[in-house]
Amino acid sequence: MKRNEIAAFEMLKNLIITKYNGKSAAGGREVTKRCHYCGDSRNLSSRHMYIGVNKNTGLINYNCFKCGAHGIVGSDFFRDIGEFDDQITIEAVLEHNKKSHSIYSTPSNSIIQNRFKPIINYNYDETIEKKLAYINKRLGLTLDINDLKRLKIILNLNEYLQANKVNGITRSQDIVNCMSFGFIGFLSIDNCYVTMRRLIKEESVPPGIRHRYTNYNIYNRETNGRFYAIPVVLDMSKHINIHIAEGPFDILGIYRDNQNKYPNSIWIAVCGKGYANCIKTIISNLGLIDFDIHIYPDNDFTDDECLRIFNLIRFINCGFYIHRNLMPGEKDFGVPREQIKEYIKVIRQI
């Protein structure tokens, strides 16, 4: 790596440490700060966002290990942290990433994302039947295999990769076999990630995949489209409602109950708590103008944290609504309809 390439990151690292309570990490190769998208943890000394130079591409990237917000450090990153004063550092970082992007970007990335057609075929057996039954019981539905194909739900990772002629795997074969047997997958909006939901007991899987949710990166490439979205057809000339929840089951339950009430809508799960990053990605990728935002947080995500998200995008002329499930004993919307008591808090109505 050339000295002028290192200089841009060193300038950014110094800015983050001196102005944003950052801390040097990985022997100075990274800098870490509190995530400005999810608000980080309640422990004020915790810092879950890491910023560093990708050794493969040379790009200066950020990644929050709490909410999953990630991407290339660009003008939107500086705007979101409220940095407008240090123009020398901003321009240095933007110029560095512009040069690195032109060197390392190849047509193959966009070809895979744009031409990849999800095919989901299964040898219908007892395991597949149990997984389908789990989904239907959890949501109070009667979905069949064809419904799952339409919703981009993957019941067997091995069969999915083979059916789509994906060459090679990005985790060990033992891990992929375990995911195929004991997990349900949700294919991301760009068809490059699968959010895997563990169904079997924690102690029966390898340590690296014992969380409730684990991401499987199909091509081992970093993209900003790992969110799970229900496929829909939008009329861009009309008003659009964006419905955002934390997990895939949440958004499926929300879609089940509201698709007729909000016919021209986006239904998306952040697969974590990265609401702000998700909103930013949707708006910038689709070029939306006339829209409202509806978020459906779990009950451990406070109204103050929701307002922090609103303040990041309040300059956009859109409505903002917080939906909560107030049914005693429930924490989200990923449950049968009779277990939901919805409350809507209006933050801004346009």
272: left (phi over 0), alpha (psi -120 to 50) or beta: left
Tokens 């829209």 appear where?
A: 291
**pLDDT, average across residues 135-149:** 92
Cα distances (Å, whole numbers) of residue 229 to 62, 85, 110, 126: 23, 37, 19, 28
Q: Which residue has the higher pLDDT, 167 or 177?
A: 177
Q: pLDDT digits over 83-123, tens only?
A: 887 788 888 888 887 776 544 343 333 333 333 455 565 66
Q: Which residue has the higher pLDDT, 237 or 184?
A: 184
Query: Is residue 225 a contact partner of residue 190, using CB atoms and an 8 Å limit?
Result: yes
Q: What span, in angstroms and rounded, lies between the C-alpha atoms of 262 and 149?
A: 23
Q: What is the mean pLDDT of the chain?
A: 85
Helix (H) or strand (E) holding 283: helix 275-286
Query: Is residue 243 a contact partner of residue 258, using CB atoms and an 8 Å limit?
Result: yes
**pLDDT, average across residues 128-134:** 93
Tokens 């789990």 appear where?
A: 134
Domain ranges of the chain: 3-105, 116-217, 228-348
Query: Is residue 52 a contact partner of residue 61, using CB atoms and an 8 Å limit?
Result: yes
> CATH topology for 3-105?
DNA Primase; Chain A (3.90.580)
**pLDDT, average across residues 299-320:** 89
What the block records as the tokens of 98 is: 């512009």
In this predicted structure, the answer to whether residue 202 has a pLDDT above a threshold of 60 is yes
Residue 116, class by beta-carbon neighbours within 10 Å (0-12 exposed, 13-18 middle, 19+ buried)?
middle
CA 311 to chain centre: 20
Q: pLDDT digits over 54-77, tens only?
A: 877 778 889 888 777 778 888 878
CATH number of 228-348: 3.40.1360
Question: What are the phi and psi torsion angles at 6 (to 5°)?
Answer: -65, -35
pLDDT of residue 247: 93
